[in-house]
């Protein structure tokens, strides 16, 4: 009799998925996001969903939330006024900055960095110093520190971030300072680098800490309000929040470690794909999420998403190299993003080549076919001209679109300039958008030493299934999986998420002569903290698992790789095995086998609370006659059939498990459309996933 709810607030829509454990049914709700008061948007969706399924607030057993609030605070620079406390001599770190121009900005005489999150006059330098082993070189001068805090008090800080040099090795000075801050400013939101992310390398540790302080107060306020509203409504289960890593944490922990939430929404989508990897036929998946302005690609190996520790906040991730923006070290699902979505604008450049994106028509004026006054042709317009999107069934028929405007825009802006007819130009837009998305997939696969042909591609987001088969074709990926309701997949990911807390301790030592006692002490300390936080999350039924790893690198290099180690006391033998795995992985990604000795850099612990999930039983095969779902036919463009081809259109909601349909075919559901070209066939599995594969040549 339990209800599970996932709510994902996006830029335009708030998506909710409700799972009813007793019936195994899923129910979707889409409401407009209410930026002024996001609590209201969430509550509207929750109320509506429970009403529609006829259940009571008290039935809700788990509620997980993904929020764009942290991202928006950063992008709009609306976060807290943060005072930053650091070691004397190093207060200018964010003015010196790791930000650099990329792309066209490299030749921009007027380039400006985005300003630091802490203005220089809120930086407080503290007289103290540790060395890299954590030995005190200069004791903390508490009286001077108090005077410095007094001096900054009139600036009225709303949060305090503390990051001292080498505090990963010895947090004493940071802790003592935090006590002084709390005495001086009772109730102040304080973030310590030794608690937020105590990894060596001060720049990244400082940005992670400052971002937590910058986002924390507003996030805490929001989460408290949401918790109160839920409670008042009668939902008593603890509120849990999706982190960038794909794990979930308690609302209280989220407020303390706000930097962990910066990619909350995108992570939820990858978690949905990971779930598909665990319960479906394909444990190895490339997740492909295409929305209105961007497309994102991630990788799931054995049902587990790839994670990066090199995320840059406010930067782009499309090039695969470290890019603009502020680097943070907390785990983030490894997503490559390109500026190609349904709203991306196509144009002819001065040199006579077709370009698609990164400029987007957004929701307003939107693609030309919306009839909101947009005159630029977009990817969506190309899909309309090619017959993939139906003017009569846009957003399930809730929105009127005008194909003639798509034709006119493409003819006017592209066809004439390129000397191509409208359909050829539309096909050009479609193909070029596909190669842009392919470049995102290339970054997370080929550039990471992964052969995409060993993976299936899973498509979601409103526009993903329109392009997925053609994108897969570019890599010879044999299978495309389109889950049901791909437009609300991120919210579904919340339902199937687990609690997870990540910890790091820096323990630099030679791998060949490691001090196992030091490693064991560090790992035990991290594990204890993890168990305590899991207990505090209030999910009593969670089964705890501990995942441990050590980061290894060659002593002459900077590239470190996390290698899993067993849950047993560390021995030199375990380290030897880890080193062998490291050398193998290094060879896979870099193609070299250096003979250099290895170094241990960090110990990592992930404490996972495996949470009870809604039962979503497989459905039995239906009558096998897919004709029941065929609603109409229309002409759609497929080059292999020589152009426009009569194509059957199916109502996806009427498909049953076991159905098989040969391409060309188009599958429509209210939030998305899947294109299955000639030479491919689609079948429906027991979870109602649409599985598209190439047919054997006849």
Partner 1 sequence: MQSTLDPVLCEIVKNALLMVAQEAGIRAARSAGSTFVSQSAEVACALFDATGRVIAQTEVGQMHISALRAMLAAVREDHADDTLRDGDILVTNDPFRGGIHPTDVGAFRPIFHEGRPVFYCGVMMIVSDLGGMSAGGLPATATECFHEGLMIPPVKLYDAGELDQALSRMIRANSRTPGKLGADIDALAAGGNVAARRMGELIAKYGFEQLSAIVEELLDYSERLVRLGIAQIPDGTYRGSYVVEEDGVVPDKTYEVVVAVTIDGSDCRVDFTGTSPQARGPINASYSQSLSCVLFALRCFLDPDIPMNEGFYRPLHAHFPEGTLVNAAYPSACNLRLASGQAIIDAMFRAFALVYPDKTMAASATVHTVNAHGRHLDGKRPYAMLDISMGAAGGRPGHDGVDGIPFFFFVSGGYDRNIEAYEWQNPVRYHRYALLPDSGGPGQWRGGSGVIKDLEFLTDAQITLRATDRSQSKPQGAAGGHPGRGGAWILNEGQPGETVLPAKATNYQVRAGDVLTASVPGGGGFGEPFARDPAKVAADVAAGLVTQEDAMQTYGVFIDRDTGAVDEAATEALRRA
Residues 187-226 that bind partner 1 (CB under 8 A): 200-204
Strands ordered across the beta sheet of 123-126: 123-126, 82-87, 159-163, 189-192
In the region spanning residues 447 to 506, those forming contacts with partner 1, defined by CB under 8 A, are 447
CA dist., res. 484 & res. 486, Å (int)? 6
φ, ψ for residue 681, nearest 5 deg: -135, 150
Out of 355, 529, 577, 656, the residue judged to bind partner 1 by CB under 8 A: 355
Out of 432, 481, 550, 629, the residue judged to bind partner 1 by CB under 8 A: 432
**Angle (nearest 5°) at CA 585 between 582 and 590:** 115
In the complex, the smallest distance separating the C-beta of residue 134 from partner 1, rounded to whole angstroms, is: 12
Nearer to partner 1, 172 or 281 (CB): 172
Q: In DSSP terms, which residues pair with 619 in a beta bridge? A: none
In the complex, the smallest distance separating the C-beta of residue 105 from partner 1, rounded to whole angstroms, is: 8
In the complex, the smallest distance separating the C-beta of residue 351 from partner 1, rounded to whole angstroms, is: 4
Size of site (CB under 8 A) for partner 1 = 75
Task: Tell me how long the chain is.
Answer: 698
Out of 48, 435, 520, 641, the residue judged to bind partner 1 by CB under 8 A: 435
CA dist., res. 325 & res. 74, Å (int)? 11
54, two tokens:
């006829």
Nearer to partner 1, 228 or 559 (CB): 559
User: CA-CA distances (angstroms) from residue 271 to 285, 562, 695?
Assistant: 11, 21, 30
CA dist., res. 65 & res. 242, Å (int)? 6
Nearer to partner 1, 310 or 651 (CB): 310
In the complex, the smallest distance separating the C-beta of residue 448 from partner 1, rounded to whole angstroms, is: 10
Nearer to partner 1, 132 or 372 (CB): 132
* Interaction of residue 518 with partner 1, rule CB under 8 A: no
* Interaction of residue 591 with partner 1, rule CB under 8 A: yes
The crossing angle, in degrees rounded to 10, of helices 142-153 and 172-184 is: 40
In the region spanning residues 437 to 456, those forming contacts with partner 1, defined by CB under 8 A, are 439, 442, 446-447
CA dist., res. 204 & res. 605, Å (int)? 19
Nearer to partner 1, 202 or 671 (CB): 202
In the complex, the smallest distance separating the C-beta of residue 92 from partner 1, rounded to whole angstroms, is: 4
Nearer to partner 1, 263 or 473 (CB): 473
* Interaction of residue 165 with partner 1, rule CB under 8 A: yes
Out of 33, 97, 520, 529, the residue judged to bind partner 1 by CB under 8 A: 97
In the complex, the smallest distance separating the C-beta of residue 107 from partner 1, rounded to whole angstroms, is: 4
* Interaction of residue 628 with partner 1, rule CB under 8 A: no
Question: Contact region for partner 1 (CB under 8 A) — 129-137, 373-381, 460-468, 573-581?
Answer: 129-137
User: 507: which DSSP letter?
Assistant: E
Out of 183, 596, 618, 646, the residue judged to bind partner 1 by CB under 8 A: 596
In the region spanning residues 76 to 95, those forming contacts with partner 1, defined by CB under 8 A, are 89-93, 95
Q: Which residues contact 91 (CB under 8 A, 6 or more apart)?
A: 84, 120, 123, 124, 125
State the binding string over 549-588 for partner 1 (x if CB under 8 A, else -): -----x-xxxx--------------------------x--
CA dist., res. 388 & res. 668, Å (int)? 10
In the complex, the smallest distance separating the C-beta of residue 214 from partner 1, rounded to whole angstroms, is: 18
CA dist., res. 171 & res. 518, Å (int)? 16
In the region spanning residues 410 to 429, those forming contacts with partner 1, defined by CB under 8 A, are 418-419, 427-428
In the region spanning residues 528 to 547, those forming contacts with partner 1, defined by CB under 8 A, are none
CA dist., res. 167 & res. 175, Å (int)? 10
Out of 10, 365, 478, 594, the residue judged to bind partner 1 by CB under 8 A: 594
* Interaction of residue 114 with partner 1, rule CB under 8 A: no
Tell me if 237 sits within 8 A of 62, measured CB to CB. Answer: yes
Q: Which residues contact 89 (CB under 8 A, 6 or more apart)?
A: 125
* Interaction of residue 508 with partner 1, rule CB under 8 A: yes
Question: Contact region for partner 1 (CB under 8 A) — 5-13, 105-113, 357-365, 609-617?
Answer: 105-113
Question: Contact region for partner 1 (CB under 8 A) — 495-503, 519-527, 590-598, 640-648?
Answer: 590-598
In the complex, the smallest distance separating the C-beta of residue 330 from partner 1, rounded to whole angstroms, is: 17
Give the pairing type, strands 311-313 and 189-192.
unpaired
CA dist., res. 88 & res. 127, Å (int)? 5
CA dist., res. 380 & res. 361, Å (int)? 10
Out of 76, 107, 398, 697, the residue judged to bind partner 1 by CB under 8 A: 107
Tell me if 469 sits within 8 A of 677, measured CB to CB. Answer: yes
Nearer to partner 1, 354 or 630 (CB): 354
Out of 36, 76, 121, 617, the residue judged to bind partner 1 by CB under 8 A: 121
Out of 120, 179, 453, 631, the residue judged to bind partner 1 by CB under 8 A: 120
- One-character DSSP codes across 341-404: STTEEEEE-TTS-EEEEEEE-TTTT-SGGG-SS--S-BHHHHHHHTTSS-GGGBGGGTB---HH
**Residue 77, number of CB atoms within 10 A of its CB:** 11
* Interaction of residue 512 with partner 1, rule CB under 8 A: no
Out of 187, 351, 540, 617, the residue judged to bind partner 1 by CB under 8 A: 351
249, two tokens:
């944490």
The crossing angle, in degrees rounded to 10, of helices 38-53 and 202-233 is: 50
Nearer to partner 1, 448 or 525 (CB): 448
């Amino acid at each position: 009799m339990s209800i599970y709810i996932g709510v994902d607030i996006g830029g335009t829509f708030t998506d909710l998925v409700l799972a009813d454990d007793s019936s195994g049914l899923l129910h979707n709700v889409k409401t407009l996001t209410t930026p002024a008061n996001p609590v209201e948007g969430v509550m509207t969706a929750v109320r509506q969903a429970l009403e529609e399924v006829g259940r009571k607030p008290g039935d809700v057993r788990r509620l997980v939330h993904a929020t764009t609030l942290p991202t928006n605070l950063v992008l709009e620079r609306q976060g807290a006024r943060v005072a930053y406390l650091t070691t004397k001599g190093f207060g200018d770190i964010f003015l010196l900055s790791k930000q650099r121009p990329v792309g066209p900005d490299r030749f921009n005489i007027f380039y400006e960095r985005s300003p630091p999150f802490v203005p220089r006059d809120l930086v407080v330098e503290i007289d103290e110093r540790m060395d890299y082993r954590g030995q005190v070189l200069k004791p903390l001068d508490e009286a001077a520190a108090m005077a410095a805090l007094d001096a900054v008090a009139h600036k009225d800080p709303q949060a305090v971030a503390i990051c001292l040099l080498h505090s990963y090795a010895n947090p004493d000075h940071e802790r003592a300072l935090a006590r002084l801050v709390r005495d001086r400013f009772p109730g102040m939101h304080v973030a310590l680098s030794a608690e937020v992310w105590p990894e060596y390398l001060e720049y990244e540790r400082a940005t992670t800490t400052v971002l937590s302080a910058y986002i924390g107060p507003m996030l805490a306020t929001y989460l408290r309000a949401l918790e109160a509203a839920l409670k008042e409504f009668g939902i008593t289960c603890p509120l849990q929040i999706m982190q960038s890593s794909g794990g979930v944490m308690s609302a209280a922990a989220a407020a303390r470690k706000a930097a962990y939430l910066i990619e909350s929404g995108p992570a939820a989508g990858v978690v949905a794909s990971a779930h598909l990897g665990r319960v479906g036929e394909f444990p190895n998946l490339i997740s492909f999420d295409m929305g209105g302005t961007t497309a994102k690609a991630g990788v799931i190996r054995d049902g587990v998403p790839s994670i990066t520790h090199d995320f840059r906040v406010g930067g782009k991730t499309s090039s695969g190299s470290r890019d603009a923006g502020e680097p943070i070290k907390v785990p983030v699902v490894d997503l490559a993003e390109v500026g190609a979505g349904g709203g991306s604008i196509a144009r002819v450049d001065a040199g006579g080549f077709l370009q698609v994106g990164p400029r987007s028509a957004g929701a307003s004026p939107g693609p030309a076919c919306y009839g909101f006054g947009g005159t630029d042709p977009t990817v969506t317009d190309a899909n309309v001209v090619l017959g993939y999107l139906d003017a009569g069934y846009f957003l399930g028929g809730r929105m009127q679109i005008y194909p003639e405007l798509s034709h006119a825009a493409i003819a006017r802006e592209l066809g004439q300039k390129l000397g191509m007819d409208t359909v050829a130009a539309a096909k050009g837009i479609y193909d070029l958008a596909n190669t842009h998305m392919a470049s995102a997939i290339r970054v997370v696969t080929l550039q990471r030493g992964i052969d995409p042909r060993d993976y299936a591609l899973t498509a979601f987001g409103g526009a993903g299934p329109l392009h997925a088969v053609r994108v897969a074709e570019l890599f010879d990926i044999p299978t495309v999986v389109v889950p049901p309701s791909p437009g609300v997949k991120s919210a579904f990911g919340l339902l199937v998420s687990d609690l997870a807390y990540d910890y790091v301790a820096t323990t630099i030592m030679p791998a060949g002569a490691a001090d196992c006692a030091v490693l064991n002490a560090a790992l035990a300390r991290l594990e204890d903290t993890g168990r305590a936080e899991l207990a505090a999350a209030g999910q009593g039924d969670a089964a705890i698992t501990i995942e441990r790893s050590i980061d290894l690198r060659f002593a002459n290099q900077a590239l470190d790789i996390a290698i899993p180690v067993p849950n047993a006391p560390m021995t030199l033998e375990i380290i030897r095995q880890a080193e062998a795995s490291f050398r193998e992985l290094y060879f896979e990604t870099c193609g070299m086998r250096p003979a250099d000795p290895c170094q241990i850099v960090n110990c990592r612990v992930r404490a996972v609370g495996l949470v009870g999930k809604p039962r979503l039983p497989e459905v039995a095969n239906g009558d096998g006659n897919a004709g029941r779902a065929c609603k109409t036919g229309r002409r759609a463009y497929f080059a292999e059939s020589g152009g426009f081809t009569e194509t059957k259109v199916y109502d996806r909601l009427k498909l049953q498990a076991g159905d098989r349909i040969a391409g060309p075919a188009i599958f429509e559901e209210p939030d998305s459309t899947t294109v299955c070209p000639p030479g491919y066939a689609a079948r429906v599995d027991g979870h109602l996933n649409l599985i598209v594969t190439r047919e054997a040549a006849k």
